[in-house]
Amino acid sequence: MTNINLNDPDIMTASEAAKRWGKAPDYVRQVLRSNPSRFPEGSVRLFGRQLIVTRYGMTTVTGHDEVKQ
Residue 44 maps to which CATH number?
A: 3.90.105
Domain containing 54 equals: 11-62
For the chain, the domain total comes to 1
| Backbone conformation region of residue 43, classed left if phi is above 0, alpha if psi is from -120 to 50, else beta | alpha
Domain annotation covers residue 43: yes
Would the pLDDT of 69 be above 70? no
- Whole-model pTM: value is 0.89
Q: Average the pLDDT over 17-46 and give the result.
A: 96
Mean pLDDT of the chain: 94
Domain annotation covers residue 2: no
Domain annotation covers residue 6: no
Would the pLDDT of 29 be above 80? yes
Domain annotation covers residue 4: no
